[in-house]
Amino acid sequence: MKKGLILLLTLMLTIGVLAACGTSDKAGKASGDKKVLVMATSADYAPFEYIETEKSDEIIGFDVDLAKAITSKLGYELEIKDMDFNGLVQALKSGQADFVLAGMTPTEKRKKNVDFSDIYYTAQHMIVSKQDSGIESIEDLKGKTVGVQLGSIQEGKAKEINEKVALNIQDRNRIPELIQEIKSGRFDAAIIEDTVAKGYFANDKDLKGFTLSDDPEEAGSAIAFQKNSDLTEKFNAELKKMKENGELDKLVVKWFGGEN
């Protein structure tokens, strides 16, 4: 009986110590550890997000710098996940990511599934082709095979053009795939955001393009969040500050070579 009492006291003491340790661990995590926010992106969209494979496997770009600036100001650590563009909205819906920064346009269709921040950058659509393609206008696309990135705003633009000029629309997961298909002759042209296209022109003199005369707001980029996320308001507040104090303009100059 004496042994049983000693065993019982020892057991109670052990439970007490473990409970205290658990409370201490929780308190330490609450006070000392920063919460990690997961950003989903498609790192094939220079200069927004891309990987310089000859230098490292790190994802860099305008959107990455913007994400780092905002999450740091809000007291979060940042983790970046690279995936195909057409899977980004689903990644938010399934909880795999806290937000998406990928040059994404807040279309009405996407707004049904996710929430968006204010617009942080605007651009325009560009028709990209080979120098000797003879494609100089929308009318020249009649009967041509035109590539678009799957799930992108440019995919919708191609369908819109197809209502006026009959096209053969083909999609690919990544922008480099579109460029390669043009160079190989399988695609006559592709529709790509102008800022991204200009990066390819700088490195490949065989390519050319012309900008579609649309309202640039149509291709405006915003940050996507899970529906009713409290992050939307927080990110918007920081975006507003960065626009007002010139930080956003500095990032534009760094990555695009001029203010937008």
β-bridge pairing 168-172 and 145-149: parallel
pLDDT of residue 215: 52
Q: Give the three-state DSSP class for 64.
A: helix
Asked if the model's pLDDT at residue 103 lies above 70, the reply is yes
pLDDT digits (tens, 9 = 90+) for 137-164: 999 999 999 999 998 889 989 999 999 9
Asked if the model's pLDDT at residue 237 lies above 60, the reply is yes
Distance (Å, whole) CA 84 – CA 41: 8
Distance (Å, whole) CA 146 – CA 67: 32
pLDDT digits (tens, 9 = 90+) for 7-35: 444 545 544 544 444 433 433 333 345 69
Q: Which of 201, 114, 212, 95 is nearest to 156 (CA)?
A: 212
pLDDT of residue 23: 37
Question: With bands split at pLDDT 50, 70 and 90, how would you rate the model's confidence at 189?
Answer: very high
Q: pTM of the entire structure?
A: 0.71
Arch. (CATH architecture) of 125-218: 3-Layer(aba) Sandwich (3.40)
Q: Which of 214, 191, 198, 225 is nearest to 106 (CA)?
A: 225
Domain boundaries, the chain: 36-122+220-256, 125-218
Phi, psi of 110, rounded to the nearest 5 degrees: -70, -35
Kind plus residue range of the DSSP H or E element containing 245: helix 231-245
Q: Give the three-state DSSP class for 39.
A: strand
Instruction: Determine the topology of domain 36-122+220-256 in CATH.
Output: D-Maltodextrin-Binding Protein; domain 2 (3.40.190)
Asked if the model's pLDDT at residue 130 lies above 80, the reply is yes
